[in-house]
Amino acid sequence: MVIDRFKPYAPLDMADLTVEHIERYLTKLLTANSRNPGRMANAHLTAIKSFCRWSAERYEVPNPAAKIKMLPEKPPRQRVLTPTEYASVLRICRGLESDAITLLGHTGLRASEFRSLTWANVADDLRSLSITGKGRKHRLIPLNQTSQTCLRKYERSHSTTMDFVKSYHARDALYKLCKRLAKRAEINRFGPHAIRHYFATELLRRGVPIAKVSKILGHASIRTTEQIYIHWLPDDLAGATDVLDWI
């Protein structure tokens, strides 16, 4: 899709492609009516870089995209549950709802990862989850006592999904659950990703190094984690330099 849109800005012969052709296309994207044009332009630039790298290797032509750096982006505006909201949601949960929200809130799983969860993902000692997530990246998520207590309620089987996961196996089931819970808890609407954001921000607020949080979330790099979460923690930086007062 990206290459098809880029074609009108590129020469017919890839050997004639220059930095100027790519920058002209990026300028067009940056002037588009978008909430975060930098992010959109970077997504297109990533595809163009990949295509140019493949072309250079296959046809032995120059790769002008290699000289172009990724563009600055505005931090994405995301819905994040506050600790108070999360506690309110748990209080009004019924039956399996509580286990689903609890596991999401203590593991940071994406909705797609939750839906595909089976006992085969869970370590025999219940101390970790083995997940293959976005981009087919593999990661281990440590399970705390709250998560372990949640899982112990269900009979273990290496071939079937947990009962509370089965209840939300449909693609939009978790989103509908979150919508219902928000209404019952009388808070602003949220989706399962808002719970993932709650999980990440609470880890950071409680002093877990961002490198570890990044690995648990399955991000491609710490830079991704910083872009998403650092701007949510300004209050936590207050007084951080006080330790130097007596030096």
Give the residue numbers marked as catalytic: 110, 134, 193, 196, 219, 229
**DSSP state, residue 152:** T
Query: d(Cα 38, Cα 29) in Å, to the nearest integer?
Result: 8
Neighbours of 11 (CB within 10 A): 11
Residue with tokens 């006080």: 242
DSSP string, 58-123: HH----GGGGPPPPP-PPP------HHHHHHHHHH--THHHHHHHHHHHH---HHHHHT--GGGB-
Q: If you count them, how many residues does the chain have?
A: 247
Phi-psi region of 35 (alpha: psi -120 to 50; beta: other; left: phi over 0): alpha
User: Which residues does 69 contact at the CB level (< 8 Å), separation at least 6?
Assistant: none
Burial class from Cβ neighbours inside 10 Å (0-12, 13-18, 19+) for residue 86 reads buried
Sign of the CA dihedral with 146 first, then 131, 164, and 118 last: negative
Query: d(Cα 46, Cα 42) in Å, to the nearest integer?
Result: 6
